[in-house]
Structure 1
């Protein structure tokens, strides 16, 4: 029979394996530096420094899209940093901005994160570079990914439920989950709405770590979910722990908010297609 010391050592090795296996978000990988130039790090003051709190993504010259639950009570001194790969290194590509305006969706619901979409207007336009560019987002009338479609996301969120955070941007490919299943009582029940999609990737069988799956996690909130290079969702919410089989990551469906986005940004609405032909 194994001694108590041997059991403790085995448990420690198992926990270490879980952490080392999760090389990105959860189960992802480090992104190539500045390969996702639209990524934003929303940072909160901590003493004389800034600390990453949430993600976001650049959609126009002075605008960043994120999640309401990242800034529910206002900017409160937060900064937006673009051109980031390493959070700690003094990269010449970094551009830091104050938040000039914050627009949280008026119908956001704290109890289930419905309508979890926000727009940040930066205090000035950014300088376009190889490290800082906009990303296209899906508008009303576009086709959202269906069940089992491969999508991807990125962020500086936790590597595991132990809270360890990466220094460099991580990315992960996941799959859209059946929305009917996400609405089941043993998943999210009535908290899951038609404004949401859910996605994750379960470790296939045979699997050396059957409880590990690829997923977004704490600190990834506000970042984009992309389908064929187009932002279709905003990382919103999931279970209290990341990587749970019945609590896939939840993403706000961006195309449901085209009119609201246009109204906030002052854009001309896209005219409907000509039906006379």
Structure 2
């Protein structure tokens, strides 16, 4: 057995590896600037400045989709910024908007984050550019990804459970976890519903430490989950325990809300069904 000094040195090396590997939204990488032109940063006032709070994504020229839990009690002075890569740098591509209307899903549950979807109407239409465009999202009848399918997500959320945040947009490829597993009592149990997808990626050697889970995290909420370039989910509440093996990221299934989305945006003003 090695000396106490050798054990301490080994522990220090492991800690450095752990920190260095947590480079993105728990294991992601920096996205190419403006390669995801639909991304939105929802920012809240903090003193004289604005601070990134949640993600979102543009779905029409005056509409951004996000998670209901991001704005549970109203806009509260928040603003939406499009065309962002760096949160701090003065990029010419940025367009900043006030929130004209906020529509949280009426059946959103704070207990388990079921129906965690919201629509924000901006105070004006955005100007389309290479850095600001809408994302295509899956509608009713479309095929959602099955277990083990590779999907991807992005955001400016915490790099680790200590709350450190990136300045530039991060992206991450993850894999869908079966609904049956996520319903197990040692995962999410009864809190996991048919309106949810859960996903993560276990990073084996040689990625660094074995069995480290890559995941979305705090601050990524409201951002998109994409499958073959189409948004299929909204980052919800799984990231509260970032990187834990039995707490994958949870995402709201967008295709379950086509009628509500259309009615809210007045694209198809049909009568709601019971």
TM-score by length of 1: 0.93
* 8 Å CA contact retained: 2:144, 2:232: yes
Structure 1 moving runs of 4+ over 6 Å: none
Matched, 1:143 2:143: yes
Match of 1:245 in 2: 245
Matched, 1:228 2:228: yes
Matched, 1:100 2:100: yes
Deviation readout 1:60-119 (Å, 9 max, x if unpaired): 000000001100011100000000000000000000000000000000000100000000
How far off is 1:212 after superposition? Answer: 1.6
- How do 1:102-181 and structure 2 match up within 5 A? 102-181=102-181
Paired residues, number: 268
Going from structure 1 to structure 2, the CA distance change for 1:54 and 1:217 (only over 3 Å counts) comes to same
Match of 1:22 in 2: 22
SS in 2 for 1:102: strand
* 8 Å CA contact retained: 2:150, 2:227: yes
Match of 2:41 in 1: 41
How far off is 1:214 after superposition? Answer: 1.4
Aligned mates of 2:21, 2:130 — CA distance in 1: 31
Aligned mates of 2:88, 2:61 — CA distance in 1: 25
Aligned mates of 1:65, 1:16 — CA distance in 2: 37
How far off is 1:151 after superposition? Answer: 0.3
Matched, 1:2 2:4: yes
* 8 Å CA contact retained: 2:216, 2:239: no
How far off is 1:210 after superposition? Answer: 2.1
* 8 Å CA contact retained: 2:158, 2:164: yes
Deviation readout 1:167-195 (Å, 9 max, x if unpaired): 00000000111100000001000000000
More deviation, 178-187/235-244? 235-244
Aligned mates of 1:201, 1:219 — CA distance in 2: 19
Q: CA RMSD in A?
A: 1.6
Going from structure 1 to structure 2, the CA distance change for 1:207 and 1:46 (only over 3 Å counts) comes to closer
How far off is 1:23 after superposition? Answer: 1.5
* 8 Å CA contact retained: 1:19, 1:159: no
Going from structure 1 to structure 2, the CA distance change for 1:168 and 1:206 (only over 3 Å counts) comes to closer
How far off is 1:2 after superposition? Answer: 1.5
* 8 Å CA contact retained: 2:21, 2:208: no
Deviation readout 1:219-244 (Å, 9 max, x if unpaired): 00000000011000000011642011
Which segments of 5 or more consecutive residues in structure 1 lack a partner in the other structure?
Answer: 271-277
SS in 2 for 1:199: strand
SS in 2 for 1:114: coil
Aligned mates of 2:269, 2:142 — CA distance in 1: 15
Which segments of 5 or more consecutive residues in structure 2 lack a partner in the other structure?
Answer: none
How far off is 1:204 after superposition? Answer: 2.8
Matched, 1:261 2:261: yes
SS in 1 for 2:241: coil
Match of 2:73 in 1: 73
